[in-house]
Structure 1
Amino acid sequence: MNYKDKYKLAAFDVDGTLLVPGDLVFSKNIKNMFLELKKNNVITTLATAREFASINNFLEQLNPDYFIGANGSFVWDVKNKKFIFTNVCNKEDVIKLYDEFATKVEGFQISHFDKVFKSPTTNTNTWYAKPFEHKFEDYSADKLIDDQIHLITLNQPDPKKVQELVKNVTKFIKQNKLDLEISSLWSRGIFIAPPMSNKIHALEKLASYLNLGLENIIAFGDGENDYEMIKNVGYGVAIDDSSNELKAIAKDICFSCEVDGPYHKLKELEII
């Protein structure tokens, strides 16, 4: 099979897929990978939980064509600096959720366009948050702007309590008829966003915009928030240190980000 002719859009999760968690600079191979994809007329996009506050200078380092951020809450045209698609949270729904859960979790963050509003319990001294700690502001309901709220993150450091949190949040959303849902979770918390706000839905929007189908996409990921993306694109590739559940639904597996796994897989498939 000529993979280069079939797959016209390449999508990449960032942390744990392209970048070792805690690092801020991409390897030479990963940077070259984006250049080589562009030379071969393959369109590129990042697909990450990161948004404008937390993306650092990653767009400048990699120069992708598009940026799917906040777990699929928006698609940004990097060159033309405009949104292709957005799906934002209702301000009043967010306030209700915050009032109910901010004191019940170890951190409550609201991702705005280019800043993050946090609860008093939020720890910003982590490998993920520390580099953009200056973008965090203390939460105040009057700071929220209705059409700029992309993602809500609730932290629960005890993995055993995450499912209990999922149950309580789901119940609260249903009882109060909020236009929100748990979009994904991990061992230490959950992401909340409007319905249909996930990486695969954003990829569908981007593919349609580019006159492509999901079958024309190759995607790489390592986390639970990558599950639907890896499962439903034409060629989903899981990182070899991801969960067994993710690897089970992937069409292929590549080496870890420590050794530039996605770069070598694309070389193997002769896409670059």
Structure 2
Amino acid sequence: MMKNIFAFDIDGTLMKFSSPKIDQYAEMSIKEAKKLGEVVLASARPYRGITSLYNSNLSIDHIVALNGAHIISGNKEKMVPIPTEIAKILISQKSNYPNFWIYTKKGWYADNISTPECKKEIYGVNFEPYSFAEYENDGILKILIVLNENIQETIEKIRNISNDITVVTSSDTFIEIFSSKINKFKAIQSLYTGEVRIYSFGDSNNDEEMIKNSFWGSAVNNATDNVKSSAKYISKYKYGQGVYDAMQIIKSKFF
């Protein structure tokens, strides 16, 4: 039997980047999706930074964290780390960047927590980082670099290190690095063995593969041009209201 899967990005899609919780339109969209199938939250955030965003009465079937590098389904989980040698090379270059953070199953790590960017991340994910001195060589699931200039030059430089990593932007200043074996769409696919129909919602370049490869990908109005060009539907509304609008289109076309 065909399963309907509704996969939602969070920041920039279900809510504004500065919001502490998903908005009312997002909640209504998730509740409507749950009546029609299963719900997956697919985010660049760490797991702990996702579960704090919604009320416990909201039913979520699976969580895809860190762009797919950490998959949580009930009491089961799967992790896809950056290859160790590549992670070592990247960490050896961290002094080149004022904001260089690594994410593992345990949490996230930063050298300088006093920068405005780090303070904003602490507020966003709702928990503070460990210091790099506390890092114990557990698998690195994602690296995040925050820059205000030379973004594209830095992306190309990092991409040239290895084909075994994916390097994308998730905002104007965020550079996300993770294993090339995974992305949000691959992570969602890995949750199911039978036939599925995936409806996805996103805004940033790290959502592009999910939007492009889903049965029906929807972009909120504040999405990047890359995501919009990959979407089957572009809402005239931003954030949660855009998701709710897209849900109404899906319901009218397919249910």
Q: TM-score range by the shorter chain?
A: 0.7 to 0.9
1:38 Cα offset (Å): 2.1
Per-residue CA deviation, residues 243-267 of structure 1 (Å, 9 max, x unaligned), is: 2332122111124345622122212
Per-residue CA deviation, residues 28-70 of structure 1 (Å, 9 max, x unaligned), is: 3322332232233x11101110112422512545431011110
Are 1:82 and 2:54 counterparts? no
SS at match of 1:129: helix
How many percent identity over aligned positions?
A: 22
Is the alpha carbon distance of 1:96 and 1:25 closer, same or farther for their aligned partners in structure 2, counting shifts above 3 Å? same
**Which residue in the other structure is 1:206 paired with?**
191
Give TM-score, length-normalised by structure 1: 0.81
Check the 8 A contact 2:221/2:238 in 1, yes or no: no
CA distance in 2, matches of 1:98, 1:153: 11
1:111 Cα offset (Å): 0.6
Per-residue CA deviation, residues 140-181 of structure 1 (Å, 9 max, x unaligned), is: 3x623434x2111111111xx01211222233x24xxxx841
Which of 125, 128, 131 pairs up with 1:135? 128
Check the 8 A contact 2:221/2:239 in 1, yes or no: no
Provide structure 1 residue ranges, at least 5 long, that are not aligned to the other structure.
Answer: none
Which of 166, 170, 179 pairs up with 1:182? 166
Give TM-score, length-normalised by structure 2: 0.86
Aligned pairs (5 A) from 1:28-67: 28-40=24-36, 42-58=37-53, 60-61=55-56, 62-67=58-63
Check the 8 A contact 1:112/1:151 in 2, yes or no: yes
SS at match of 2:96: coil
**Which residue in the other structure is 1:27 paired with?**
23
**Which residue in the other structure is 1:224 paired with?**
205
Provide structure 2 residue ranges, at least 5 long, that are not aligned to the other structure.
Answer: none
> What root-mean-square deviation, in Å, do the aligned CA atoms of Structure 1 and Structure 2 show?
2.5
**Which residue in the other structure is 1:116 paired with?**
108
Per-residue CA deviation, residues 175-233 of structure 1 (Å, 9 max, x unaligned), is: xxxx841342243132111222211211221233xx134xx101000111111111111
Q: Which amino acid aligns with 1:72?
A: G
Are 1:152 and 2:143 counterparts? yes
1:91 Cα offset (Å): 4.2
Check the 8 A contact 2:142/2:177 in 1, yes or no: yes
Q: Which amino acid aligns with 1:169?
A: I
CA distance in 2, matches of 1:133, 1:10: 25
